A = this chain, B = another copy of it.
Amino acid sequence: MAYYETMFDQLDVTVAQMLVTDSSFRDKDFRKQLSETVRAMLKMRVIPVFNENDAISTRKAPYKDATGIFWDNDSLAALLSLELKADLLILLSDVEGLYTGPPSDPNSKLIHTYIKEKHQDEITFGEKSQLGRGGMTAKVKAAVNAAYGGIPVIITSGYDAENIAKVLRGLRVGTLFHQDAHLWAPVVNTTSRDMAVAARESSRKLQALSSEDRRKILLDIANALEANEKTIKAENDLDVVAAQEAGYEESMVARLVMKPGKISGLAASIRQLAKMEDPIGRVLKKTQVADGLILEKTSSPLGVLLIVFESRPDALVQIASLAIRSGNGLLLKGGKEARRSNAILHKVITDAIPETVGSKLIGLVTSREEIPDLLKLDDVIDLVIPRGSNKLVSQIKNSTKIPVLGHADGICHVYVDKSCKMDMAKRVVSDSKIDYPAACNAMETLLVHKDLEENGVLNELIYALQSSGVTLYGGPRASAKLNIPETQSFHHEYSSKTCTVEIVEDVHGAIDHIHQHGSAHTDCIVTEDGEVAEIFLRQVDSAAVLHNASTRFSDGFRFGLGAEVGISTSRIHARGPVGVEGLLTTRWILRGKGQVVDGDNGVVYTHKDLPVLKRKDALENGHGAMENAL
């Protein structure tokens, strides 16, 4: 008590010790007076601190006596919360809350909301299976009693001093007990983890279908979208109005609008995608391991994808159809400004998925779970694809162990060598900057060989950029020479009609500059000297390296990959512009006749490469699918 007094005193709060016994509560008058006393104390801003009056208690062992009114601090707390009609009971433990198993077991998961019907059988209590340290069994029992008497309860850790404040701010901390918890289903009941597991199960059923049946699903979705165009448009209009009323930026509202013709455009691109060669089960490599032992490396879906996208609701349609084409399960987390559009599109699409696969193939995360929670599901989600701002991508990359397909920075360079043709240099440099300045593959830095200072080419390049309205900053060398302001940093993505210029010694200087300041996205050399070009192409360690061509070509459609999943600056899995193959992994299939290893004496290894027969179905037609829509 002295400790409580001392601690509260630091906050200028007065506390009062309240010692009660089990038997007091048998007296109805006492209970009435207790409520009045506490109310009076709170009015005086005095905080009561309750404890059992051990010295005078007549309670006897066994203390866990169900006939008793309370038998420990947890049951006392539950009793008091009911007597005093508390707004909330917080039980502090030494673990984060109630787990599905021992908290020390990495497979145990924190239960955010306890649902009696669901959890009471799932978690077995008793002397032998007491969960957690610090008497979690007693706490759960007390919490259930209070909660089903009408008092909401949170069990959380007392080790984090912020936890009480977090609970009061309504943050998702610890385990919540509430008598209506079962009614909150499915939002609370279906966690995104459950959705991911269900998506994986459905994806396995999708994979088990024939190629033709998978194609049919896409065609059904295309038809369903067109059939529901009016409803979709109506929901989209509501989103747009709400966004305008909420005062969102015009550019954001513009991205939100599904213009007339959008639905039929999306339907057309899904039909294109349906024509594409089936990406699943393609034989990538075939080897005769031994006589009659044939090994195939085949393409196979990744599993479950998580797409986090902002604003544009058509992204949902594109991604859902790419996921189906590639046999993957999918979790979608859209922006709340497109809530209604996303919901109707998700409904139309999943309604078109046959029962043999199940509509849970594509989950729309609509619960209040935020992105950080989703990003923790690294055991059930295989790949995250963020579609949105660079900021979104880097935030996601920094906060998950799940592989992320995307790029945060696009600091692309064009190096103009001394041997360039001036007209070509002007054309490539201008297009790289001006064709679409906000694109990730737009040029941010122009590097120029020092010899071009003298012969006027540098000035011509600068003039070409400036006359197109490009603002220029210089590196130390160029800013002095050209009398332009010096840049603060070479590692900067302007995403506008602005760029940095610097003069370098030669191709090696350019390569060093790119390695030091670039983002390994796309870099280009303009030169007529084939040897210099090959040095650049071989040594620049970027996802895409170009010779005499605009950086703007570095793109899934222009590279001929068909549907573009994204552009990756990661080195693992997929790099540079990524098509459907970014949604696939491989599986090894070995067919034998009963061969065994037997200490490697069981077979004679031949390891002969066998020819892989290409499937011909609709490969050519499929190129460029989704191109219009994306």
Residues of A with Cβ closer than 8 Å to B?
Answer: 3, 6, 9-10, 106, 204, 207-208, 281, 287, 289, 293, 295, 300, 302-303, 382-383, 398, 400-401, 403, 421, 423-424, 427-428, 430-431, 435, 515, 526, 533, 535, 537-539, 541-550, 552-554, 558-560, 571-573, 575-577, 585-600, 602, 605, 607, 623-624
**A289, B558: Cβ atoms closer than 8 Å:** yes
Contact of A554 among B204, B287, B537, B590 (CB under 8 A): B590
Closest to A203 in B: B541
Q: A526's closest neighbor in chain B, by CB?
A: B594
Contact among B6, B544, B553, B572 for A403, CB-based, below 8 A: B572
Name the B residues within 8 Å of A383 (CB-CB).
572
17 contacts between A and B (CB under 8 A): A204-B515, A287-B559, A287-B560, A302-B571, A382-B571, A424-B593, A427-B596, A435-B598, A537-B589, A544-B590, A548-B592, A549-B592, A552-B596, A559-B590, A572-B572, A576-B586, A607-B623
Q: What residue in chain B is nearest A399 (Cβ atoms)?
A: B401
CA A281 to CA B598, docked complex, whole Å: 38
Q: Is A602 in contact with B550, judged by CB distance below 8 angstroms?
A: yes
CB distance from A524 to the nearest CB of B (A): 9
Point out the residues of chain B lying under 8 angstroms from A585, CB to CB: 571-572, 575
Given A3-B10, A585-B571, A590-B544: A597 touches B435 (CB 8 Å cut-off): yes
Cα distance A281–B537 in the bound complex, in angstroms: 11
Q: Are A545 and B588 neighbours in the complex by a CB distance under 8 Å? A: yes
Q: Tell me the interface secondary structure of chain A in the complex.
A: mixed
**Extra 4 A-B pairs, beta carbons < 8 Å, given A424-B594, A546-B591:** A543-B588, A544-B589, A545-B588, A558-B605
Chain B min CB distance to A424 (Å): 4
In the bound complex, how far is the Cα of B539 from the Cα of A535, in angstroms? 47
* Chain B residues closer than 8 Å to A424, beta-carbon distance: 593-594
Nearest-neighbour CB distance to chain B for A563, whole angstroms, equals: 13
A511 to chain B, nearest CB (A): 9
For the complex, what is the distance from the CA of A592 to the CA of B542, rounded to whole Å? 17
With A and B bound together, what is the CA distance between A423 and B594 in angstroms? Answer: 9
Q: Which residue of B lies closest to A593 (CB)?
A: B548
Closest chain B residue to A530, Cβ basis: B591
Name the 10 nearest CB pairs between A and B, nearest first: A549-B592, A560-B607, A431-B596, A424-B594, A552-B597, A544-B588, A571-B585, A550-B596, A546-B590, A548-B592
By a CB distance below 8 angstroms, the chain B residues around A623 are 607
Contacts of A430 in B (CB 8 A): 596
Least CB separation from A296: chain B residue: B537
For residue A392, give the distance in angstroms from its CB to the closest CB of chain B. Answer: 16
Answer whether A295 and B539 are a contact pair too, CB < 8 Å, given A398-B106, A572-B302: no
Contact of A549 among B428, B571, B577, B594 (CB under 8 A): B594
Q: Which of B281, B287, B539, B588 contacts A208 (CB 8 A)?
A: B539
Chain B nearest CB, measured from A470 CB (Å): 15
Our pick among B208, B539, B576, B607 for the contact of A538 (Cβ within 8 Å) is B208
By beta carbon, the residue of chain B nearest A550 is B596
Residues of chain B lying within 8 A (CB to CB) of residue A533: 591
Indicate whether A559 sits within 8 Å of B421 (C-beta atoms), given known contacts A572-B302, A598-B431: no
User: What's the nearest-Cβ distance from chain B to residue A509, in Å?
Assistant: 15
The chain B residue sitting closest to A429, CB to CB, is B596
Least CB separation from A302: chain B residue: B571
- The chain B residue with its CB closest to the CB of A400 is B401
- Say yes or no: A589-B545 contact (C-beta < 8 A), given A558-B597, A597-B553: yes
Tell me the smallest distance from the CB of A212 to a CB of chain B, in Å.
Answer: 15
Please indicate the chain B residues that have their CB under 8 angstroms from the CB of A400 in the complex: 401
Minimum Cβ distance to chain B for residue A267 (Å): 22
Residues of B within 8 A of A553 (CB): 289, 293, 590, 592, 595, 597
Query: A596 contacts which chain B residues (CB < 8 A)?
Result: 427-428, 430-431, 435, 549-550, 552
* Cα distance A400–B600 in the bound complex, in angstroms: 36
Residue of B nearest to A287 (CB): B560
Q: Which residues of B contact A571 (CB under 8 A)?
A: 302-303, 382, 585
A423 to B593: give the CA distance in the assembly, Å: 12
Measured between beta carbons, the chain B residues less than 8 angstroms from A577 are 588
Query: CA separation between A526 and B430, bound complex, in Å?
Result: 63
Residue of B nearest to A551 (CB): B597
Contact yes or no, A295 B560, CB < 8 A: yes
Rounded to whole angstroms, the CA-CA distance of A295 and B547 in the bound complex is: 10
Closest-by-CB residue of B relative to A9 is B6
C-alpha gap A241/B544 in the complex (Å):
52
Q: Is the CB of A547 within 8 A of B591?
A: yes
Q: How far is the CA of A224 from the CA of B287 in the complex (A)?
A: 36
- A552 to B597, alpha carbons, bound, how many Å? 6
Most buried by B among A533, A545, A588: A588
Q: How far is the CA of A11 from the CA of B142 in the complex (A)?
A: 32
B590 touches A560 (CB 8 A): no
Once A403-B572, A435-B599, A559-B588 are accepted as A-B contacts, the answer to whether A548 and B10 lie under 8 Å apart by CB is: no
Quick one: given A547-B590, A586-B576, A587-B544, are A539 and B204 in contact (CB under 8 Å)? yes
Whether B550 pairs with A595 at a CB distance below 8 angstroms is yes
Cβ of A571 to closest chain B Cβ, rounded Å: 4
